[in-house]
Every structure is written in C-alpha cells, then in structure tokens.
Amino acid sequence: MVAGSPGRPSRTKRRDSVVPYILDLSGACAKLKRAKTHIDAVHDAIEEKLGPHPIHYGLGRKFDRDQSAVVFYINRLVEIDNGWSLIIGDAIHNLRGALDHLTWQLAIRHCNGVEPKDGNSIQFPFETDSAKWPRKFLDAADAAKLEDLQPFNNDPVTTAMRLPHPFVMLKTLSNGDKHRTIEVTTHHPANYMIPKLILRDCEFRGQNVGLTAFAGTPKLGDEVFRVPVTATGLNPDVELEGYVSCYIAVRERWNVDDVLAQIYQRVETLLRRF
C-alpha cells in the first residue's frame, strides 16, 4: 500500500524563506485503499455467482441436414447481477478520487502552501495532447512525475490487451458514472477449446471445425461451431468435449478484471512517486 504523508499541512515563514509544503496524502491513500476493497468485492461477487474462471457458456447441438453438419449453439447464457455495476462504480469513483486528492495537494504546493482560489476546477489531468502539457497548478518537478503515465504516452501493457490507456478508461468510466450507473454490459467470448470430437453415425468431412465469429455479445441460439460431416447412419451426431469461455465486460468488450487491475496499478504507481 502507498505510504501516505498525513502530516499537518503548513506554511511557515522563516525570515525570507518558506518551508516546503508537506503533501498530505492521507486522503489519496484512503481512496486507493477503498478502491481495492471494491475491486476485490467485484471479483468475489462474480466468482460466487458464476464459479471460478474460466466461465463457460452452455452449448447445445443439432444436425443440419441441408448443410450436412452438426451445429453447436449457445443454449445457456451467463447470468449478470445488476449489483456488480454499483460495486464497479464505487471502485472507479475511489480510483479517480485518489488522483484528485493528490492533484489538490500538488496544487497547494504549487501555490506555496495556500489553497488555490479556483479550487473547484482542479482535477487530475487526463491529457491526450502532449503539446498541452503540463497543466496549471503543477510544479515542473511534480509534472515530470506525472508525465510518463499521461494518456499521450502509449501504455504497452493495455495496448497488448487491446484496451485503451488505463487513465482513458478511468476518465471514460468515471465521467459516465456521474450521470448514470456504470453498465456491466454483459459477457463476451474469451476463448474456446476443442480437444476431442466423438462422432456417431457420421464421418468427419473436411479438415477443420468451423468457428463462428461473434459480431458482438452472443445471444441464445447463436451458432458457435459447425462440424462438417457425412452421414453414415440414421442419427448422425457429434459430441464435443470442449467449451467456449467468456469474461464479464464493461463498455461491451473491456474485461472488467483487466480494467480495474490496470487502472489500480497505475494509480498506485503514481501515488508512490510522492
């Protein structure tokens, strides 16, 4: 956990010098700690309802005589609990609050220990344009500590995950939460495995099992696999010893576990610098 500096802020004159303002990070640290509690609660709530990862869809199958194929389709979706949205919203609110508490303290330091008059406009800067950096109310040394984690710099971890920059996700989700509940949009396919096919009254025709790509969130009845076969008996059938897994998503395709973990790590990293 981040080590805060909850000492009493002061601005004491000694002759012509000013004692450097001591940052009070107790609020920022408390917000971060509270965010971690909510993040853990989200994970526990999902696992309690759906079981440990990976989460699987239920699959049914039928023989398509016109196409001479056994079709596997989704016959059981993943049930979403609306309460998860509220917990996620609380986590996001505290993560952004931690940054705003830090920014307020940095602004006081910039003003030599005096609270800025237009303090209501002071929030953590999420800057996508490097030409506009740094923002107001930041000493040069403090701005330098924030710069590499600003959204105008690439975040290689979330880029590899095909996710936006962590602070872009934080800003997007927290801005939405000001006006509406953050929506756990649903589930989204994550991975599939076909370790074995058991054929009855048919022979495998072709070289590969056809995987149907999902355009969005799957629905009941959506096709997943298509196994081309040639019927050799009255009841051609294929048993599939495999699965299609999914994850719980926000904003349609953002894995909520990854989103919260990556944002938390960047906020924690920032606080540790002060």
Tell me which range, 41-45, 51-55, 184-188, 234-238, is most confidently predicted by mean pLDDT. Answer: 41-45
Digit-coded pLDDT (tens) for 63-121: 998 989 889 999 999 999 989 999 999 999 999 999 999 999 999 999 999 998 876 78
pLDDT at 177: 66
Lowest mean pLDDT among 167-176, 206-215, 254-263: 206-215
pLDDT at 14: 45
Q: How far apart are CA 81 and CA 64, in angstroms?
A: 35
Residue 74's DSSP bridge partners are 59
Q: Is the pLDDT of residue 176 over 50?
A: yes
Using DSSP's 3-state secondary structure scheme, residue 236 falls into: coil
Q: How far is CA 21 from the centre of its chain?
A: 35
Q: 72 and 61 in contact (C-beta within 8 Å)?
A: yes
- For the chain, helix (H) and strand (E) counts, in that order, are 6, 11
Average pLDDT over residues 124-148: 93
Q: Is the pLDDT of residue 5 over 60?
A: no
Q: 32 and 269 in contact (C-beta within 8 Å)?
A: no
Tokens linked to 63: 């023989």
Q: 263 and 170 in contact (C-beta within 8 Å)?
A: yes
Residue 9 pLDDT grade (very low, low, confident, very high; cuts 50, 70, 90): low
Q: What stretch of H or E contains 243?
A: strand 237-250
Q: What stretch of H or E contains 46?
A: helix 26-50
Q: How far apart are CA 70 and CA 103, in angstroms?
A: 59
pLDDT at 206: 73
- The backbone torsions φ and ψ at residue 250, rounded to the nearest 5 degrees and listed phi first, read -115, 155
- pTM value is 0.84
Q: Is the pLDDT of residue 126 over 50?
A: yes
pLDDT at 180: 66
Residue 178 pLDDT grade (very low, low, confident, very high; cuts 50, 70, 90): low
Digit-coded pLDDT (tens) for 209-252: 767 766 678 899 999 888 899 999 999 999 888 889 999 999 87
Q: What is the average pLDDT score of the chain? A: 88
Q: How far apart are CA 105 and CA 69, in angstroms?
A: 65
* Measured distance between the N- and C-terminal CA atoms of the chain, rounded to whole angstroms: 13
Q: Is the pLDDT of residue 182 over 80?
A: no
120 against 269, higher pLDDT: 269
Q: Is the pLDDT of residue 1 over 80?
A: no
Q: Single out the residue of 158, 183, 178 nearest to residue 259, CA to CA.
A: 158
Q: How far apart are CA 20 and CA 116, in angstroms?
A: 16
